[in-house]
A = this chain, B = another copy of it.
Amino acid sequence: MELDLTHALAVLERTPASFRALLGGLPEVWTTPNEGPETFSAFDNLGHLIHCERTDWLPRARIILAQGTDRRFAPVDRFAHYQESAGKSVADLLDEFAQLRAENLATLRDWRLTDREFALVGEHPALGSVTLGQLLAAWVAHDLGHLAQTARVLAKQYREAVGPWRAYLPVLDRP
């Protein structure tokens, strides 16, 4: 379906609570393991979402809306959160994510964007020309992708424990 701001906001505003319901108070044996080298644990997924909240979505939207001479986005560091999250707990990250997301969605609502703005273009460092509408849709899909990834990394902790059921649970062997 096409981007609709009300529909996009309905997902974006639910993401912090979805992560809190899944991860809040969950034992660390679940939230610490990852899926192998350069992959994300549940903890890492939260840290990455926080990093994107600060450096990706709204900063890039501002570049597009400004329509200046240089509309090129800064690249996002996919591993910056390893350092930024050091020493924090899952509870810390859940709070931080919820607060940043609430602030960012308040800003987004204040902009009262219309189809005219959704068609404005910026320059992604690798993907080339992208519209503001595509950026907002990617924000939504990125949230949901990391929720799926978080559920998957948790599930994989029982890959052996399920025994023969592994054949019926594709989530356990999905990269």
Contacts and interface: CB of A to CB of B under 8 A. Distances in A.
A113 interface: no
A171 B154 contact: no
* Number of identical protomers: 2
Interface string A5-31: 011001100100110111001110110
Contact of A134 (B4, B151, B161): B161
A158 B1 contact: yes
A81 B22 CA distance: 24
Contact of A163 (B22, B130, B164): B130
Interface of A: 1-4, 6-7, 10-11, 14, 17-18, 20-22, 25-27, 29-30, 33, 124, 127-131, 133-135, 137-138, 140-142, 144-145, 147-149, 151-152, 154-155, 157-165, 167-172, 174
